[in-house]
Amino acid sequence: MISVQEASVVVPAHRRGEADRVLLDRISLELTEHRIAVIGANGSGKSTLLRLFNGLRAPTSGRVSVAGKDTVKDAAAVRARVGFVFTDPLAQLLMSTPVEDVALSLRAKVKDRAERARRAQELLDLRGVGHTAHQSIYDLSGGERQLVALTSVLAVEPRIVVADEPTTLLDLRNRGQLREVLAGLPQQVIVSTHDLDFAADAERVIVVDAGRVIADGEPREAIAAYVAAMAR
């Protein structure tokens, strides 16, 4: 379980006379539900919040832990447990072809090189992108790329998947496909999204506004609170 206790993220002012920037302001959350969506306007702090969950970002004050492990002090254990999917898969695909990228994720678990490549191919097949295995990642469509990135993240067998606007760059069909894949995962899945239909599928919706949680709970009510806040 992810636990956020009074976590703030503050960026110090760059110039004299400027105020510090508070990106997140004393957030406390216990994330126990299987499907959680985080929504909020552009720049409200969703990405910053999600990055706290796997230690990509450290809180300036307060504490974030995953299954009792501190995201700063136990960073490696936390990263192994919490997989992170970026909006732009090119930000996370490190190798030049899908099969190499997934094999890289398998490195800790499968020592033999040939076996690693075989397993990587199997995992890509499972996600319906096996045919892209040896293509350059730059030649893949956006949807294929996102599925390859997700396959690489899942290859590490994380207990929790955190996905930062994973459908934003996708067309309607690929968006639907990715939503389906995420919905079918056995892991706990926490996504940020601007797609309110996607958010409505979650068990719990957290609304972030200017670095604060302004609504948190059952999707219908939380989404209504977000829509009302946007209208103000």
Ligand X SMILES: Nc1ncnc2c1ncn2[C@@H]1O[C@H](COP(=O)(O)OP(=O)(O)OP(=O)(O)O)[C@@H](O)[C@H]1O
Interaction site with ligand X (CB under 6 A): 11, 21, 23, 40, 42-48
Q: Taking the complex as a whole, how short is the minimal distance between the CB of residue 223 and ligand X, in angstroms?
A: 16
Q: Taking the complex as a whole, how short is the minimal distance between the CB of residue 45 and ligand X, in angstroms?
A: 4
Q: Taking the complex as a whole, how short is the minimal distance between the CB of residue 40 and ligand X, in angstroms?
A: 5
Q: Which CB, 161 or 207, lies closer to ligand X?
A: 207
> What CA–CA distance (Å, rounded) separates 80 from 157?
8
DSSP designation for 129: -
Question: Counting every residue, how long is the chain?
Answer: 232
33 Ramachandran zone, left/alpha/beta (phi>0; psi -120 to 50): beta
Q: Which CB, 43 or 217, lies closer to ligand X?
A: 43
DSSP E strand stretches across the chain:
2-11, 21-31, 35-40, 61-66, 69-70, 82-85, 160-164, 188-192, 204-209, 212-217
Q: Which residues pair with 190 in a beta bridge?
A: 36, 162
Q: Taking the complex as a whole, how short is the minimal distance between the CB of residue 91 and ligand X, in angstroms?
A: 13
> What CA–CA distance (Å, rounded) separates 43 from 36?
20
Q: Which CB, 47 or 54, lies closer to ligand X?
A: 47
Taking only Cα atoms into account, the Rg of the chain, rounded to an integer number of angstroms, comes to 18
Phi, psi of 34 (to 5 degrees): -75, -35
Q: Which CB, 120 or 191, lies closer to ligand X?
A: 191
Q: Taking the complex as a whole, how short is the minimal distance between the CB of residue 24 and ligand X, in angstroms?
A: 8
Q: Which CB, 77 or 214, lies closer to ligand X?
A: 214
